[in-house]
């Protein structure tokens, strides 16, 4: 008689019980995994935001601390001429819509780090009355409301080579400005080229003819011809001038601009622009504010050069109507930058978190830092 083998395997009932247990455990595991996927994604988003914000601040610190470099190379200009300019949004209206997670321009300032182009030599302005033995002791002066000037290249630089450098400035019209500054660093203005430069000779002397958008009789510019906001001086900075002579300088500027691109209002981006090339440093930026600490100005931040008391606070109003500090760029000794970003908005029904900053369904990261452009602050014994 055959007996049933002890190794015959599971019965159908045992198999069904095992499958049921596996399904319960597997379902529970998958359920826990599904619950943790959004949490993991949020943690990753928070970490990514943290990295973007901190890297952006590091880049800002590196650029701003070197603001104003390049002015003294090959010249006798004093250090500390001009480091940064700021355009504050100073909004009178709410800058965001918390119901649609949309942000607009009113939340964001613009910061320009002003440097001289190191590859373009400093040259000298002239009115064309060159002598056969030109030197910086000439007394031939130009006025910037004339529309054109002659420029004499420095020793060792041909007129053609310098004209090629200025031609690049013309090609980048709207991005590159030329700075005219006197030899003492006490008077300046900017010009924007409106035609290709012409290299040749004037009275037998190699020279470049530059044509540009005229300034006002006092040397100030319309906003469209001064994107760096250096010479738009509504309340009369005494450093802005329209007269420059042979011993003075023409410098090509190489600014770095920080601004926020709001072309996609649901995802504002912090952008760094240099030499016409823009790089996105951070996405989902919901705040970029820049304040200026000023030397020898009124505490109300209106910028009065007759004062001898430093501002005890940071100013956030760069209005050019006499109420702000816009004419006092050379008085800036420190800037305070606040950068705020967010993770991607999560309007899902399972995400009930609402932050206290703007009530949005996302996490917030913010950094505030004070930076001293070293050329603007290191020479101040009383600051």
Give pLDDT tens digits for 90-108.
Answer: 777 888 888 889 999 899 9
Alpha-carbon gap, residue 268 to 251, rounded angstroms = 34
Highest mean pLDDT among 1-10, 47-56, 194-203, 322-331: 47-56
Nearest alpha-carbon partner for 83 in 349, 314, 292: 292
Number of domains in the chain: 2
**Judgement on whether residues 244 and 128 belong to the same structural domain of the protein:** yes
Per-residue model confidence (pLDDT) at position 325: 79
Per-residue model confidence (pLDDT) at position 34: 62
**Judgement on whether residues 295 and 214 belong to the same structural domain of the protein:** no
Residue 271 domain flag: yes
pTM of the predicted model, to two decimals?
Answer: 0.83
Exposed e or buried b per residue across 134-168, where buried means at least 16 C-beta atoms within 10 angstroms of its C-beta: beeebebebbbeeebbbbbbeeebebeebbebbbb
Residue 5, CA atoms < 13 Å, CB-side half-sphere: 4
pLDDT at 316 exceeding the cut of 90: no
**Judgement on whether residues 324 and 298 belong to the same structural domain of the protein:** yes
Q: What is the 3-state secondary structure of 87-135?
A: ECCCCCCCCEECCCCEECHHHECEEEECCECCCCCCEEEECCCCCCCCC
Nearest alpha-carbon partner for 42 in 339, 286, 351, 316: 351
User: How large is the average pLDDT for residues 237-245?
Assistant: 84
Residue 371 domain flag: yes
**Judgement on whether residues 171 and 273 belong to the same structural domain of the protein:** no
**Judgement on whether residues 243 and 128 belong to the same structural domain of the protein:** yes
What the block records as the tokens of 134 is 């030109």
- From 218, 252, 286, give the residue that closes a domain: 252
Residue 204 domain flag: yes
Which residues are within 8 A (CB) of 20 and not within 5 positions of it... i.e. 6 or more apart? none
**Judgement on whether residues 247 and 129 belong to the same structural domain of the protein:** yes
Nearest alpha-carbon partner for 85 in 366, 320, 368, 283: 320
**Each residue's pLDDT tens digit, 258-297:** 999 999 999 999 999 988 889 999 999 999 999 988 876 6
Per-residue model confidence (pLDDT) at position 342: 94
Nearest alpha-carbon partner for 225 in 269, 282, 176, 188: 176
Per-residue model confidence (pLDDT) at position 383: 41
Residue 383 domain flag: no
- From 197, 230, 252, give the residue that closes a domain: 252
Q: Would you say 183 and 71 are in contact if contact means Cβ atoms under 8 Å apart?
A: no
Residue 42 domain flag: no
Q: How far is CA 367 from CA 33, 58, 279, 292, 315, in A?
A: 34, 11, 20, 17, 18
Q: How many beta carbons lie within 10 A of that of residue 121, not counting itself?
A: 21
**Each residue's pLDDT tens digit, 134-154:** 555 566 788 898 889 988 888
Per-residue model confidence (pLDDT) at position 62: 92
> What is the domain extent for residue 237?
124-252
**Judgement on whether residues 130 and 240 belong to the same structural domain of the protein:** yes
**Judgement on whether residues 245 and 283 belong to the same structural domain of the protein:** no
**Judgement on whether residues 145 and 244 belong to the same structural domain of the protein:** yes
């Amino acid at each position: 008689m055959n007996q049933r083998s002890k190794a015959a395997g599971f019965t159908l009932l045992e198999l069904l019980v095992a499958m049921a247990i596996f399904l319960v455990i597997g379902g529970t595991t998958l359920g826990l995994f599904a619950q943790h996927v959004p949490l993991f994604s949020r943690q990753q988003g928070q970490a990514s935001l943290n990295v973007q914000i901190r890297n952006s601040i590091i880049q800002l610190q590196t650029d701003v601390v070197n603001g104003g470099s390049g002015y003294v190379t090959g010249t006798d200009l004093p250090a500390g001429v001009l480091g940064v300019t700021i355009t504050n949004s100073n909004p009178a209206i709410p800058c965001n819509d918390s119901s649609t997670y949309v942000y607009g321009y009113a939340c964001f300032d613009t910061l320009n780090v002003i440097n001289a182009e190191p590859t373009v030599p400093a040259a000298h302005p002239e009115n064309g009355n060159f002598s056969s033995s030109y030197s910086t002791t000439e007394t031939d002066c130009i006025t910037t409301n004339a529309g054109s000037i002659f420029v004499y290249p420095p020793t060792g630089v041909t007129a053609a080579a310098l004209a090629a450098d200025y031609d690049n400035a013309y090609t980048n019209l709207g991005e590159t400005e030329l700075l005219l500054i006197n030899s003492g660093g006490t008077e300046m203005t900017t010009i924007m080229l409106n035609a290709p430069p012409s290299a040749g000779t004037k009275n037998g002397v190699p020279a470049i003819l530059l044509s540009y958008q005229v300034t006002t009789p006092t040397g100030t510019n319309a906003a469209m011809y001064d994107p760096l906001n250096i010479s738009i001086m509504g309340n009369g900075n005494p450093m802005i001038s329209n007269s420059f002579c042979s011993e003075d300088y023409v410098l090509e500027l190489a600014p770095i601009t920080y601004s926020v691109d709001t072309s996609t209002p649901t995802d504002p981006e912090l952008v760094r622009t240099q030499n016409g090339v823009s790089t996105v440093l951070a996405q989902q930026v919901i705040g970029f504010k820049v304040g200026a600490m000023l030397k020898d100005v009124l505490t109300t931040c209106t910028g009065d050069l007759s004062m001898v008391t430093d501002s005890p606070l940071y100013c956030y109003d760069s209005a050019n109507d006499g109420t702000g500090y816009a004419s006092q760029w050379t008085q800036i000794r420190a800037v305070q930058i606040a950068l705020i970003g967010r993770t991607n908005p999560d309007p899902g029904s399972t995400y009930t978190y609402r932050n206290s900053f703007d009530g949005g369904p996302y996490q917030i990261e913010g950094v505030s830092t004070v930076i001293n452009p070293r050329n603007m602050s290191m020479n101040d014994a009383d600051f």
